[in-house]
Amino acid sequence: MASEDKREELHVLLVAFSAQGHINPMLRLGKSLLTKGLHVTLATTELVYHRVFKPSTATDDDTVPTSITTNGIQVLFFSDGFGSSLKITSADEYMELIGKLGPLSLSSAIKTHFLDTSKKLACIINNPFVPWVADVAASFKIPCACLWIQPCALYAIYYRFYNNLDQFPTLQNPNMSVHLPGLPSLQPRDLPSFLLPSNPFGSFPKVLSEMFQHMKKLKWVLANSFHELEKEVIDSMANICPIRTVGPLVPPSLLGQDQSEDIGIEMWKPQDSCMEWLDHQPRSSVIYISFGSLIVLTAKQLESIASALKRSNRPFLWVIKPKEKDDILPLPQGFVEETKEQGMVVPWCPQTKVLVHPAIACFMTHCGWNSMLEAITAGTPMIGYPQWTDQPTNAKLISDVFGLGIRLEQDGEGFVGTEEVERAIEEMVVGPRAEEFRRKASELKRAAREAVADCGSSERNIQSFVDEIVGTSD
């Protein structure tokens, strides 16, 4: 059978953890596979059903449907304990519960939707926080791929750490620097927080270590990055455990493409009025600040940023996502009132639209990889204020590898003083370094667009991945 014909019948199942930043890159990869003629299904958790897909008319007692369809992609839900009588009080407990309930529930969904039908499931793609999916795939003899959703640099660091290929800090030698191929020398403050000897426990390091110790179960490792951005480190892994870049998997509008082609979910409703406010600000003047969906800054951290913003007297758009919906923000008293002519504080904004707005000068970020890729594709320089997990390393990439901005100097507790924030803002907005960051940002913006265009590096990698899926499905 000609491969074009065969492709018509082949299905790919994407399996994603319950986070917007995990599901959206997966869906965008799915969209590319769809346009190349494969059938695509997403499986995610019941929590996502409740937060995103549940109709407003449904009651809590209504059962989760076995599948729904969104933007031409079928979505299945597997059990994570959400909505059951089990009380989940921490991220660690949630991770454990998914690991316990997920495999059986996903296996049964695969049987019902694929194996008991005439559909041919040719490949399963998972992401890092559901490493057990590789075992489910193996039990059905279906080839498995992983979509790595952090920089390739992090993939290389974790791989080398979990496979004992290099020396990393230990309790006996906590201050040593780490030298890895394709990366600048890394101090402990530049390493992912999970690898620090003071912090090796918890469910997140556990699932990462499981994944990296069982890489052999994966036939392909794909990455939400692009070759031109991380060439040295990608090449350094080529003979060890290659990673294939297929990104940036960001909304098409950021890549100069038709936005109506986008596919993605929104777990929180953005406050769109900030766009109108941006329309009234001078070009390249606004400091955009966001710490993503999970980080909750302390009152002390918020206070130092607030004072720096006031002293800089520059326009700002600041996203502060409250821990719970109606929580009062622990901002200094009177701050919002006193700065209402200068800036805007919102609980959530349409970030990808904000980043491309001509009024934006720079982005103070916690260095989550989705935010960074969005800024790179928008051509926006960054100030890195990392907190945990991959963020410290990502901040190092911003300053010392990509040349896209600066990392704030933090004290031992991760705190940054007002003067440091103020200094960074000035340096990003005026002067020769600001010019240089802007020049580098436009260069990488162009490179990102080229990577996903016809014959670009990521486009070619997706095509070869599809060809291999088709080839191995004989």
Binding site residues, ligand UDP, CB under 6 A: 20-21, 270, 290, 292-294, 319, 348-349, 351-352, 368-371, 374
- Closest CB to ligand UDP among 127 and 371? 371
Burial of residue 328, with CB atoms counted within 10 A of its CB: 0-12 exposed, 13-18 middle, 19 or more buried: exposed
Report the nearest approach of ligand UDP to the CB of residue 382 (Å): 11
- Closest CB to ligand UDP among 131 and 384? 384
Residue nearest to ligand UDP (CB): 368
What are the beta bridge partners of residue 456?
A: none
Report the nearest approach of ligand UDP to the CB of residue 372 (Å): 7
Are 240 and 319 spatial neighbours (Cβ–Cβ below 8 Å)? no
Report the nearest approach of ligand UDP to the CB of residue 292 (Å): 3
Residue whose C-alpha is closest to residue 179's, from 162, 165, 197 = 165
251 phi/psi in degrees, rounded to 5 = -55, 140
- Closest CB to ligand UDP among 224 and 458? 224
- Closest CB to ligand UDP among 168 and 288? 288
- Closest CB to ligand UDP among 8 and 327? 327
Report the nearest approach of ligand UDP to the CB of residue 126 (Å): 17
Residue whose C-alpha is closest to residue 346's, from 308, 314, 324, 320 = 320
Phi-psi region of 293 (alpha: psi -120 to 50; beta: other; left: phi over 0): alpha
Report the nearest approach of ligand UDP to the CB of residue 348 (Å): 4
Q: Which residues of 86-100 are buried (b: 16+ CB within 10 A; e: fewer)?
A: eebeeeeebbbbbbe
- Closest CB to ligand UDP among 114 and 318? 318
C-alpha–C-alpha distance, residues 172 and 286, integer Å: 45
Report the nearest approach of ligand UDP to the CB of residue 90 (Å): 17
Report the nearest approach of ligand UDP to the CB of residue 24 (Å): 6
Report the nearest approach of ligand UDP to the CB of residue 25 (Å): 9
- Closest CB to ligand UDP among 68 and 267? 267
- Closest CB to ligand UDP among 257 and 293? 293
Report the nearest approach of ligand UDP to the CB of residue 244 (Å): 21
- Closest CB to ligand UDP among 236 and 371? 371
Report the nearest approach of ligand UDP to the CB of residue 474 (Å): 38
Report the nearest approach of ligand UDP to the CB of residue 266 (Å): 7
Alpha carbon 41 to chain centroid, angstroms: 20
- Closest CB to ligand UDP among 79 and 245? 245
- Closest CB to ligand UDP among 270 and 384? 270
Residue whose C-alpha is closest to residue 429's, from 306, 291, 283 = 283
